[in-house]
Amino acid sequence: MSTLWSDHVAGLIPYVPGEQARIPDLLKLNTNENPYGPSPKAIEAMQAALGDDLRLYPDYQALGLRQAIARRYRLQADQVFLGNGSDEILAHVFNALFLRGGRLLWLPDVTYSFYRTYCRFYDVPHRLIPLADDFSLRVSDYTQAVEQEPAGIIFANPNAPTGRALGLDAIAAIAKAHPDSAVVVDEAYVDFGAESAAALLREFPNLLVVHTLSKSRSLAGLRVGYALASSDLVAGLLRVKDSFNSYPLDRVALAGAQASIEDEAWFERTRHAVIDAREQLAQDLQALGFDVLPSQTNFLFARHRRQDAGEIAQGLRHQGILVRHFQAPRIEQYLRITVGTPEQCVRLCDTLKAVLSA
Ligand SMILES: Cc1ncc(COP(=O)(O)O)c(C=O)c1O
């Protein structure tokens, strides 16, 4: 620790991303990347953007991409906010919407761990609301009358790392119960089988939906995310973004992201391939003695009925396969396994067979 740091830095507990190991013939099923490549049209658009124009700053309003996203969801461009990955959007959300005079942010106890990192980073007071025993979110916990309204509510839908999804009725009930609180739904995985709350934006000006191009668009390396909300909420986020970095997306990313959003055929084909592989993998894991939670995502959250999760993860690692094991309360006996191609899933299951019988 350096004496030159600002006072708060020593106390930070940074988010720990999934391992990026350098192992020969590595099968990486630990960070929910998409096994299929990005749209070839996105690659082409990015190649075309690599030219003399790179001496110019990108459009700080990123209108082309915002309009393309707005068209897809039948919204206005001023209802779309962009970020360098959805993590950056979430950071701005915590800063712009959740510091409300000491009121508490509500969030589930088991969810994307970056939310608590941002709570600490921005000093957002919060209340963790336990998920039910089956890891479902109990809507009544979020709709009861309370003495002090929350500063905001955030949850991932489908949730990570559990994979479970809520329906739109549940999300509408939560947004309706707290009109003076921003309700943020992180839909990083929604395209793998859940319904997007974007359909509720007209009805609820306090609702904000966050998406990423890292998962269903297979562009984790490009770092592009977007949020959809009322123009009022977006204006607040823009004020924060323009006090931080006016150009979070470079020209290459803007070109690639727009082409990806516009390539509906590639999107449909690849997301369905992942969904099909997920269903097969869930069956195969069950046959190997795992209890598998229902998933609407590109990963499965599974617990072996007899063997320790940490030991299984280590055994797989020795064979060049990475899966995610969280040493966190309630979930330390679960593994989060990204769905790969059918061939990768077969390699995973064959290796698991050997690891489990070792
Ligand atoms: C629930 C959830 N939200 C957001 C993100 C961040 O995605 P990105 O910053 O790549 O857009 C992730 C990444 O794994 C995630 O699982």
Q: Which of 28, 82, 86 to mutate to test the pocket of ligand 1 (most atoms within 8 A of CB)?
A: 86
List the structure tokens of 326. 């969280």
Q: Are 93 and 222 found together in one domain?
A: yes
* Per-residue confidence (pLDDT) for residue 24, from 0 to 100: 81
* Per-residue confidence (pLDDT) for residue 1, from 0 to 100: 77
Q: Which atom of ligand 1 is nearest to the CA of 156?
A: 1
3 located within any domain = no
Q: Are 120 and 234 found together in one domain?
A: yes
Q: Are 79 and 216 found together in one domain?
A: yes
Q: Which atom of ligand 1 is nearest to the CA of 87?
A: 9
Task: Tell how far the Cα of 226 is from the centroid of ligand 1, in angstroms.
Answer: 11
Among residues 77, 49, 73, which one has the least CA distance to residue 62? Answer: 77
Q: Which of 186, 192, 298 to mutate to test the pocket of ligand 1 (most atoms within 8 A of CB)?
A: 186
Q: Which amino acid is at 188?
A: A
Task: Tell how far the Cα of 344 is from the centroid of ligand 1, in angstroms.
Answer: 22
Q: Which atom of ligand 1 is nearest to the CA of 215?
A: 10
* Per-residue confidence (pLDDT) for residue 168, from 0 to 100: 98
* Per-residue confidence (pLDDT) for residue 19, from 0 to 100: 80
* Per-residue confidence (pLDDT) for residue 17, from 0 to 100: 83
Q: Which atom of ligand 1 is nearest to the CA of 86?
A: 11
Among residues 274, 267, 268, 159, which one has the least CA distance to residue 213? Answer: 267
Q: Which of 84, 192, 212 to mutate to test the pocket of ligand 1 (most atoms within 8 A of CB)?
A: 212
What is the DSSP-derived secondary structure letter of residue 167? -
Average pLDDT in the 221-250 region?
A: 97
Which pLDDT tens digit goes with each residue over 157-215?
999 999 999 999 999 999 999 999 999 999 999 999 999 999 999 999 999 999 999 99
Residue with tokens 């959003």: 261
Q: Are 44 and 164 found together in one domain?
A: yes
19 dihedral zone (left: phi>0; alpha: psi -120 to 50; beta):
beta
Among residues 236, 257, 188, 226, which one has the least CA distance to residue 77? Answer: 226
Question: 116: burial class by Cβ within 10 Å (0-12, 13-18, 19+)?
Answer: middle
What is the residue-averaged pLDDT of the chain? 97
**Cα–Cα distances in angstroms (integers) from residue 303 to residues 183, 198, 290, 319, 350, in the given order:** 31, 33, 5, 20, 17
The domain that contains 320 carries what CATH number? Answer: 3.90.1150.10
Q: Are 150 and 194 found together in one domain?
A: yes
Q: Are 321 and 190 found together in one domain?
A: no
Tell me if 136 sits within 8 A of 145, measured CB to CB.
Answer: no
Q: Which residues line ligand 1 (CB under 6 A)?
A: 32, 85-87, 112, 156, 160, 186, 188, 212, 214, 220, 225
* Per-residue confidence (pLDDT) for residue 98, from 0 to 100: 98
Task: Tell how far the Cα of 86 is from the centroid of ligand 1, in angstroms.
Answer: 6
Average pLDDT in the 153-159 region?
A: 98
Residue with tokens 């396994």: 337
Tell me: pLDDT of 103 over 80: yes
What is the DSSP-derived secondary structure letter of residue 324? B
Q: Which of 81, 87, 93 to mutate to test the pocket of ligand 1 (most atoms within 8 A of CB)?
A: 87
Q: Which atom of ligand 1 is nearest to the CA of 225?
A: 11
Listed in sequence order, the residues at least 6 apart from 357 whose beta carbon sits closer than 8 Å to its beta carbon are none
Tell me: pLDDT of 131 over 80: yes
The domain that contains 64 carries what CATH number? Answer: 3.40.640.10
Range of the domain at 237: 40-263
Confidence of residue 38 (pLDDT cuts 50, 70, 90): very high
Domain stop point among 233, 263, 293: 263
Q: Which amino acid is at 162?
A: T
Tell me: pLDDT of 13 over 90: no
Q: Is 323 helix (H, G, I), strand (E, B) or coil?
A: strand
Tell me: pLDDT of 15 over 90: no
Domains contained in the chain, number: 2
Using alpha carbons only, give the angle 119, 161, 66 rounded to the nearest 5 degrees: 70
Average pLDDT in the 275-286 region?
A: 98
List the structure tokens of 303. 């617990």
- What distance in Å separates the CA atoms of residue 168 and residue 33, rounded to the nearest whole number? 26
Task: Tell how far the Cα of 71 is from the centroid of ligand 1, in angstroms.
Answer: 23
Helix residue ranges, H only, the chain: 40-49, 63-73, 86-97, 114-122, 140-143, 168-177, 231-241, 251-262, 264-287, 309-318, 342-357
52 located within any domain = yes
Task: Tell how far the Cα of 353 is from the centroid of ligand 1, in angstroms.
Answer: 30
Q: Are 135 and 175 found together in one domain?
A: yes
Type and span of the H or E element at 107 = strand 105-108
Tell me: pLDDT of 269 over 80: yes
Cα-to-chain-centroid distance, residue 236:
22
Tell me: pLDDT of 93 over 80: yes
- What distance in Å separates the CA atoms of residue 262 and residue 65, rounded to the nearest whole number? 10
Report which protein residue has its CA nearest ligand 1's atom 3.
Answer: 188
Task: Tell how far the Cα of 267 is from the centroid of ligand 1, in angstroms.
Answer: 18
Q: Which atom of ligand 1 is nearest to the CA of 83?
A: 11
Q: Are 15 and 55 found together in one domain?
A: no
209 located within any domain = yes
Q: Are 55 and 146 found together in one domain?
A: yes
2 located within any domain = no
